[in-house]
Structure 1
Amino acid sequence: MWFKNLVFYRFTQPFTTDAEALHEQLFGSRFTPCSSQEQTRYGWVPPMGKLGDQLVHASNGHLLLCAKKEEKILPGSVIKEMLAERVEAIETEQSRKVRKKERDELKDTLMMELLPKAFSRHQLTFAYIAPEAGLLVVDASSAKRADELTAFLRKTLGSLPITLPALKQAPAATMTHWVSEQSPLPGGFELGEEAELKDPGENGGVIRCKQQHLLCDEISTHLAAGKQVVKVALDWKETLSFVLGEDLIVRRVKFSDVVQEKAAEMGEADAAAAFDADFTLMTLELGRFLPELLEALGGEDDGAYAPAIAV
């Protein structure tokens, strides 16, 4: 149970629901498979999988959730080919042109015929709530996937007063200062060997580098030409490594062997204990890391948070 990506939100009101009450609220929106005529389904499943039946796993004040999405796979090329065949047959047999409205109706009918035979793709998205820290953290590498979970959680609960962290300055500006050495990296953070630089102008060029020492003349030349750092690899206190983006998404999170070995020692009893140990230690480390990351980026603009957002 180790998150690989972090999209995190700030609660604008205290989250006071306990694990038992939250389970009851999620139960009404638990996952059920697609019916024969459905293309997609979304719902809550036990985060421990076969190890438990609760829709919320609570540990050390943190609440773990898991959403499951099922999508029927209907290749566009197959639908296009079969639609073309049906249109051609009608035009040949009836000596007339198939218009757009009829073509769209034929496509809908074709999809309904194919859905029961389609393969399904399943996707799990984990998230945890840290009530004391006032954070919701989603394991997702894109804003779209994270927003899908938060939108469904809002629908399930009726209200979810969260917002993305508001920073005093843009992350790209701060990361550019780090790599250009205009500002020192805060204590505990070290540059990795990967970055993405982008010209802020319209249709601006993009430079991506890996296994590259970033404090070098080559990178400095691009920065002097006006490019900004929009992604950069960082290490934090020999505990985890990650790639930070200008969108404030923390991608490719990797916890150190020391942290994972400690979790293994805590969860030696059985699989359930191992799951709980992983989650407990991960949230403890992220509970230290995320505030330090926000502070390293210049701190949050507390005045930007609306005090009574409840949607």
Structure 2
Amino acid sequence: MWFRNARVFRFTKPFDISAEALEEKLQADAFKPCGPQETNRQGWVPPLGKHGDQLVHSANGYHLIALRKEEKILPGPVVKEAVEERAEAIELEQGRKVRRKEKDELKEQVMLEMLPQAFSRNRRCFAYLAPQDGVLVVDAGSAKQAEDLASTLRKSLGSLPVRPPAVEQSPAFTLTGWLNESIDHPANITLGSECELKDPSEDGGVVRCKGLDLKADEIRNHLEAGMQVTKLALTWDDNVSFVLDEELGIRRLKFGETLQEQLDDVDVDDALAKFDAAFTIMTLELSRLIPGLLEALGGEDRSAIVEE
């Protein structure tokens, strides 16, 4: 159970919920498959998959949940071809032109007829609530996907006082300073070999660099021309590597050998126990990484947070 991404939401006021209360709330919105005429559906599923039936898996006060989305897949070219065939048949039979509005109605009719035989695409998005750390962490590659899960959770709970964390200075400013060496980065952060540079002007370009020496003259020239770092590969404490973006999104998380060895040292063959051990190791490491990263980026702006 290793997250591949981490989109962090900060609780804006004290928030706590037991595993039992969370389970009860989520049960009301548990996943149900699409009906014959439905194009998509979503709901909560057991994060342990076939190894469990509870919608909440808790360890050390961290509550793991999973949102499943089902979408019916109707290939666009197939739908378009069927609509054109019906439109041509109408034109030949009635001797008139089929207009756009009528074609749109034909498209809806075709899709409704095809839906019962359509393939389904299912996706699961994991997240965990850490009330003691004041965060919700979502394994999502995009801000939209993370916000969708947070919105769905808010609906299930009735209230979810979270927002993305804010820092005292622009993340792009700090990342740029680390790369051009105008700002010292903490000793436990190592710069990687991947970055994205963006010209801040309205029609500015983007330069993506991968597998390069980020201290090379080519990169330095772009920085001196005023480009800013909007993504940067980093390694934290020699344990976790990732790509950080200007929205504080943590992507392509990779947990290092030290953490893998900790998991290997857990002498169990049971899949559930192994899952639980991996979840515990991951959450403990992220509980160090998240506040440490926010501090490294200039410190968290907590002015909108209601303290206990």
Q: Distance in 2 between matches of 1:113 and 1:244?
A: 45
1:302 CA displacement = 1.2
Verify the 8 A CA contact 1:264 1:274 in the aligned structure 2.
no
Match of 2:32 in 1: 32
SS in structure 2 of the partner of residue 266 of structure 1: coil
Match of 1:180 in 2: 180
Structure 1 position 149 matched with structure 2 position 149: yes
1:306 CA displacement = 5.6
Match of 2:87 in 1: 87
Cα distance per residue 1:151-206 (max 9 Å; x no partner): 11111111111001011111111100000000011120010001111111122111
Given residue 128 of structure 2, which amino acid in structure 1 is its aligned partner?
A: Y
User: How has the CA–CA distance of structure 1 residues 27 and 108 changed in structure 2, closer, same or farther, with 3 Å as cutoff?
Assistant: same
Q: Distance in 1 between matches of 2:267 and 2:71?
A: 34
Equivalent residue pairs, number: 307
Cα distance per residue 1:109-161 (max 9 Å; x no partner): 11100111110011010000010110000000101111111111111111111
SS in structure 2 of the partner of residue 302 of structure 1: coil
The Cα RMSD (Å) is: 1.2
Verify the 8 A CA contact 2:194 2:232 in the aligned structure 1.
yes
Match of 2:162 in 1: 162
Q: Distance in 2 between matches of 1:94 and 1:297?
A: 68
- Residue identity over aligned pairs, in percent, reads 56
Which runs of 4 or more aligned residues in structure 1 lie more than 4 Å from their structure 2 counterparts after TM superposition?
A: none
1:252 CA displacement = 0.3
Q: Distance in 2 between matches of 1:306 and 1:114?
A: 50
Given residue 170 of structure 1, which amino acid in structure 2 is its aligned partner?
A: S
Verify the 8 A CA contact 1:267 1:273 in the aligned structure 2.
no
Verify the 8 A CA contact 1:68 1:122 in the aligned structure 2.
yes
1:101 CA displacement = 2.4
Match of 1:213 in 2: 213
1:100 CA displacement = 2.6
Given residue 263 of structure 2, which amino acid in structure 1 is its aligned partner?
A: A
Verify the 8 A CA contact 1:264 1:277 in the aligned structure 2.
no
Match of 1:116 in 2: 116
Verify the 8 A CA contact 2:79 2:107 in the aligned structure 1.
yes
Verify the 8 A CA contact 2:194 2:211 in the aligned structure 1.
yes
Match of 1:231 in 2: 231
Q: Distance in 2 between matches of 1:33 and 1:152?
A: 17
Deviates more, 1:256-265 or 1:189-198: 256-265
1:307 CA displacement = 4.0
Match of 1:252 in 2: 252
Match of 1:105 in 2: 105
Verify the 8 A CA contact 2:230 2:245 in the aligned structure 1.
yes
Match of 1:222 in 2: 222
Verify the 8 A CA contact 2:14 2:306 in the aligned structure 1.
no
1:50 CA displacement = 1.2
Match of 2:286 in 1: 286
1:267 CA displacement = 5.5
Q: Distance in 2 between matches of 1:257 and 1:234?
A: 16
Match of 2:266 in 1: 266
Match of 1:16 in 2: 16
Verify the 8 A CA contact 1:192 1:234 in the aligned structure 2.
yes
Given residue 52 of structure 1, which amino acid in structure 2 is its aligned partner?
A: G
Given residue 144 of structure 2, which amino acid in structure 1 is its aligned partner?
A: K
SS in structure 1 of the partner of residue 265 of structure 2: helix
Q: Distance in 1 between matches of 2:104 and 2:83?
A: 9
Q: Distance in 1 between matches of 2:305 and 2:15?
A: 16
Match of 1:129 in 2: 129
Verify the 8 A CA contact 1:267 1:276 in the aligned structure 2.
no
Cα distance per residue 1:192-248 (max 9 Å; x no partner): 001111111122111111111112211110001111111010001111100001121
Verify the 8 A CA contact 2:13 2:305 in the aligned structure 1.
no
Given residue 284 of structure 1, which amino acid in structure 2 is its aligned partner?
A: L
Given residue 244 of structure 1, which amino acid in structure 2 is its aligned partner?
A: L
User: How has the CA–CA distance of structure 1 residues 190 and 13 changed in structure 2, closer, same or farther, with 3 Å as cutoff?
Assistant: same
